Amino acid sequence: MAGVVLDGRRINAQIQQELRPRIEALRARHRAPALAVILVGNDPASQIYVRNKIKTCRELGVTSLDITPAATIETNELLDIIRGLNADPTVDGILVQSPLPPQIDHQQILTAIDPAKDSDGFHPFNVGSLVANRPAPRACTPAGIMEMLRRYEIPIAGRHAVVVGRSDIVGKPMALLLLHANATVTICHSRTRDLADECRRADILVAATGKAGLITAEHIKAGAVVIDVGMNRVTDQAMANRLIGYDAERLRLFHKNGSVLVGDAEPRAMQEISFAYTPVPGGVGPLTIAMLMSNTVGLAEQHLLE
């Protein structure tokens, strides 16, 4: 029996619908929420991602400030832009798209953003608030996953959750959010011994490694919930055959386009073994942008009270 598909696009639409009256209320009382998006350079994947964020802003009525410095910009120049946005009372949220060019000091940029305008939830102050379980913007992807689990009424308390990946963007905040929801949490990474054995303990398995097809049938316990955060573009024919060879339509598109987008888990293994799973694409991805909008609206509401 095939697992239940956890549809990120449906949850995204729900969250956006709930945000609309809040945005209208802000507009009526003061002004629309405003998000400044800084994209440095010409990375194609970043350009697509930022374009989707800006499109969602426009659809919701959130003001989007699109700032595109040249790829040659230095750290001090980018810091000056961020200081200006911090001081601008018409800006509620600031997002600096990663990755940044190698000459930019990423940590300096991250800590320069005013925590009260940190739409991504990455500032150390907001990360500390997450650790302490205090209100603050949360990292968008993990926060979106928690929304998905809640809205699909998947129980977390008392369950064993395994997070594969320890990044600051997904793995660590995901583990903390699950812990605050009373799950027993294991974090796995590149030095974990017998990864498959650890993963098979999971009632909720979150794969966030950036390695296509790392999670196989051997890693998934029957009846588990599998959240696949991976977004990997595969161009290798053998890898494509392994991951999507059973799906004639996706394989046809691979041959047509020369690539296919896959997650960190084998799709067929998720479908056949899990109780529920997120597809790639259409699972976790739409939730990230929904929670970015949610964070920005929440910050705008806080600014209105100040």
Write the single-letter amino acid at 69. Answer: P
Q: Does domain 29-118 have CATH number 3.40.50.10860?
A: yes
Pairing of strands 276-277, 225-228: parallel
Closest to 284 (Cα-Cα) out of 201, 169, 193: 169
- Strands (DSSP E) contained in 200-249 are 204-207, 225-228, 232-234
Task: Per residue of the chain (306 residues), give pLDDT as tens.
Answer: 578 999 999 999 999 999 999 999 999 998 999 999 999 988 777 888 888 888 999 999 999 999 999 999 999 999 999 999 999 999 999 999 988 999 999 999 999 999 999 999 999 999 999 999 999 999 999 999 999 999 999 999 999 999 999 999 999 999 999 999 999 999 999 999 999 999 999 999 999 999 999 999 999 999 999 999 999 999 999 999 999 999 999 999 999 999 999 999 999 999 999 999 999 999 999 999 999 999 999 999 999 887
Separation between Cα atoms, residue 30 and residue 32, nearest integer Å: 7
Q: Which helix (H) or strand (E) holds 83?
A: helix 75-87
Place of tokens 């600031």: 94
- Strands (DSSP E) contained in the chain are 4-5, 34-38, 63-67, 93-96, 160-164, 184-188, 204-207, 225-228, 232-234, 260-262, 276-277
pLDDT in the model for residue 45: 74
Tell me if residue 159 falls in helix, strand or coil. Answer: coil
pTM of the model as a whole = 0.95
Which active-site residues does the annotation give? 53, 97, 120
pLDDT in the model for residue 46: 81
pLDDT in the model for residue 1: 57
pLDDT in the model for residue 94: 98
Q: How far is CA 139 from CA 146, 199, 205, 222, in A?
A: 11, 24, 19, 29
**Tokens linked to 174:** 């995901």
pLDDT in the model for residue 212: 95
What residue spans define the domains of the chain?
A: 29-118, 140-286
- In sequence order, which residues have a C-beta less than 8 Å from that of residue 259 and are 6 or more positions away? 233, 234, 235
Please give the CATH topology (third level) of the domain spanning 140-286.
Rossmann fold (3.40.50)
pLDDT in the model for residue 47: 82
- The reply to whether 140-286 shares the fold of 29-118 is yes
pLDDT in the model for residue 287: 95
- In sequence order, which residues have a C-beta less than 8 Å from that of residue 301 and are 6 or more positions away? 22, 26
N-to-C CA span, the chain: 53
Separation between Cα atoms, residue 243 and residue 238, nearest integer Å: 9
pLDDT in the model for residue 15: 98
Rounded to whole angstroms, the maximal C-alpha distance in the chain is 57
Tell me if residue 271 falls in helix, strand or coil. Answer: helix
**DSSP letter (8 states) at residue 136:** S
pLDDT in the model for residue 160: 98
Look at the chain and count its residues. Answer: 306
In degrees rounded to 5, what are phi and psi of residue 298? -60, -40
